[in-house]
């Protein structure tokens, strides 16, 4: 990829690409840009890999694994011009909500992928309660400005979005843009409180206290 796209490629990253409809069609439509997809279900990962191979795409990298784990361990911070998160599992039961891909505890990891100051996060869900929760999480984040959009520009859609658009189902669509600024400002206030770095005089300490 470096040979084709230079030392610092402007990656388009999709987390949880499912069957890969959006990722593969987007890569096919713009060979000048590199695309990276992350999906944890093997069946979908293999299907998307076959689709990319069938189209002979040389600008797509697919990773099978849990997105937050791969961001924390493998993917370089600031690598992405755009991060796409479309119709992530909403985990509606409150006891399961900690499994959500995007929430106050995980938002810093996801935003850390974005290349400052231009990076953008695109998010969509048909689960309106989850959509409002993500909108609030992003609105409270000091590092981003968030806006709601009624529709995306013309272009490829994910499987879920294509289906829900046909059905006329309401969808929350959000675009978050980095405001720029230092690393510390990338921490969400709620997520930061969850980062336990060790006891300080018997009290809970957060990185902001260091
Ligand atoms: C509801 S589907 C939506 C698929 C696709 N984004 C779409 O809009 O058609 C959610 C997808 O995200 C994947 N996924 C959920 N959590 C994930 C995680 N933490 N890491 C990687 N993939 C994840 C699931 O396996 C599933 O394929």
pLDDT at position 205 is 45
- pLDDT value at position 193? 60
Q: Atom 14 of ligand 1 has which residue's CA nearest to it?
A: 16
Ligand 1 neighbours (beta carbon < 6 A): 15-18, 38-41, 44, 66-68, 86-89, 101, 158-161
CA torsion sign for 123, 128, 129, 135 is positive
Question: Which residues are marked as active site?
Answer: 89
Res 181: pLDDT: 55
pLDDT at residue 201, rounded to an integer: 46
| Domain 2-209 classification at class level | alpha beta
pLDDT of residue 8: 74
Q: Extract the residue ranges of the chain whose pLDDT is less than 50.
A: 182-184, 196, 201-210
- Cα distances from 108 to residues 70, 112, 154, 204, in angstroms, run 14, 6, 29, 20
Q: How far, in Å, CA of 167 to CA of 169, rounded?
A: 5
User: Which ligand 1 atom is at minimum distance from the Cα of 14?
Assistant: 6
Residue 61 pairs with which residues in a beta bridge?
Answer: 36
B/e letters for 143-177, b = 16+ CB within 10 Å, e = fewer, are bbebeeeeebeeebbbbbbeebeeeeeebbbbbbb
Of 25, 6, 21, nearest in space to 87 by CA: 21
Give the other-Cβ count within 10 Å of 82's Cβ: 21
Tokens 């809970």 locate to: 204
**pLDDT, position 179:** 87
The reported pLDDT for the residue numbered 206 is 46
Beta carbons of 83 and 121 less than 8 angstroms apart: yes
Q: What is the pLDDT of residue 202?
A: 44
Pocket test for ligand 1, best of 22, 48, 88, 125 (most atoms within 8 A of CB): 88
């Amino acid at each position: 990829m470096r040979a084709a796209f230079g030392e610092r490629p402007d990656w388009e990253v999709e987390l949880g690409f499912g069957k890969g409809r959006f990722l593969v069609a987007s890569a096919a439509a713009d060979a000048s840009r590199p695309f990276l997809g992350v999906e944890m279900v093997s069946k979908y990962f293999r299907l998307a890999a076959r689709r990319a191979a069938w189209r002979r795409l040389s600008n797509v990298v697919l990773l099978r694994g849990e997105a937050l784990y791969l961001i924390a361990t493998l993917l370089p911070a600031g690598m992405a011009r755009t991060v796409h998160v479309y119709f992530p599992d909403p985990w509606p039961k409150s006891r399961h909500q900690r499994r959500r891909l995007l929430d106050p505890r995980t938002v810093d990891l996801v935003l850390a992928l974005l290349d400052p100051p231009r990076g953008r996060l695109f998010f969509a869900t048909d689960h309106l309660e989850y959509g409002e929760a993500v909108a609030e999480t992003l609105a409270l984040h000091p590092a981003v400005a968030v806006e709601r959009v009624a529709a995306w520009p013309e272009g490829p859609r994910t499987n879920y979005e294509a289906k829900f658009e046909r059905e006329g189902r309401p969808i929350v669509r959000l675009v978050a843009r980095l405001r720029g600024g230092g690393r510390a400002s990338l921490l969400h206030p709620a997520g930061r409180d969850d980062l336990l770095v060790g006891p300080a005089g018997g009290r809970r300490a957060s990185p902001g206290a260091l």
